[in-house]
Amino acid sequence: MAFEPSDPSGSQLGHSGDPPRNQAHEWVSFEDPNERRTWVFDVTWLASRYTCIWGRGCQGIYDAPTPERMEGCCSHGAHFTDGDDFKTTEKSARLLTVANWQFKARADRTGFFTKQKDGTVKTRVADGACIFLNRPGFSGGPGCALHAASLVRGERPMDGKPNVCWQLPLKRDDHEDQYGHVTSTIREWKRRDWGSGGDRFAWWCTESPDAYVGKAPLWQQLADEITGMVGPAVYAMLAGYFGHRTRRVWLPHPAVRAP
């Protein structure tokens, strides 16, 4: 196993807005059976009991806590990764109605996306957050309209949302060497992944012990999402690894590690 550099004292920083100083993580890697690829997984993260606490204490991603807004990580809209990602969301958006999408009338007038100066495409921001985010007080209920409508139809929300939305807080990084071999890392989404703005967040969920209250380890909670990112064969290898290590002690995640 490999570990990130850490503060040997194991001490924590002084206030809740700062991440823990002891950032040691445990990792495991597998060779892909079908591609020239090595998969590297953050064991500490995937073995943790992290769970999304949207609507249950999530403080959002502003420079001050805003749990009453119930925006979670949807404040700035979602960037699409490619054309297929856009088409998936477009198809799902066509199924929404004024009863389950607060901003449908606006989207009908302006479209649900905008093109940025750098050429990337993202969901439009409406009244300070993603246009698909229903706000508290909406008759159809707060939260992502795409997500809620998928559940009503008996479908997986991940099949109708932008990639970044169903993957978060998982992050996949791909790096290809000079010989064409790819190393793909599955880890937690950190402040740095938001760019310079991430450092201004008053709170970020993967750093807060409040979010580590799941009833099962993350690799089980997000089995569908991880499989969607790595494929069924690699997920089976990962699950087998965790299954054979059930009697061993896991390195606790820094957010819940004792000082």
Task: Give every CB contact of residue 207 below 8 A, 6+ residues apart in sequence.
Answer: 19, 20, 191, 254, 255
Q: Are residues 152 and 210 in the same domain?
A: no
Peptide bond between residue 259 and the one before it cis (omega within 30 degrees of 0): no
Q: What is the DSSP letter of 235?
A: H
188 and 244 in one domain? yes
Q: Indicate if the pLDDT at residue 13 is higher than 90.
A: no
184 and 225 inside one domain: yes
- At 2, the pLDDT band (50, 70, 90 cuts) reads very low
User: Is 23 inside any structural domain?
Assistant: no
Same domain, 228 and 255: yes
Q: Does 120 lie in the same domain as 153?
A: yes
Q: Which amino acid, 232?
A: P
Position 49 in a domain: yes
pLDDT band at residue 163 under the 50/70/90 scheme: very high
pLDDT 10s digits, 148-160 = 999 999 999 999 9
| Residue 3 maps to a domain | no
**What does each C-alpha distance from 199 to 51, 62, 84, 129 come to in angstroms?**
22, 10, 31, 19
When pLDDT is averaged across residues 193-218 and rounded to a whole number, the result is 95
Confidence of residue 16 (pLDDT cuts 50, 70, 90): very low
At 5, is the pLDDT very low, low, confident or very high (cuts 50, 70, 90)? very low
- Domain check: are 183 and 221 in the same one? yes
- Residue 9's pLDDT is what? 30
> Once rounded to an integer, what is the mean pLDDT over residues 165-179?
97
Query: Are 33 and 105 part of one and the same domain?
Result: no
Measured CA to CA in angstroms, residue 60 lies from 14, 20, 71, 206 at distances of 21, 19, 6, 12
Residues 172, 138 share a domain: no
CA 50 – CA 66 distance, rounded (Å): 20
15 domain residue, yes or no: no
In a shared domain, residues 88 and 213: no
Structural domain count of the chain = 2
The pLDDT, as a whole number, for residue 65 is 95
Residue-range definition of the domain harbouring residue 161? 74-167
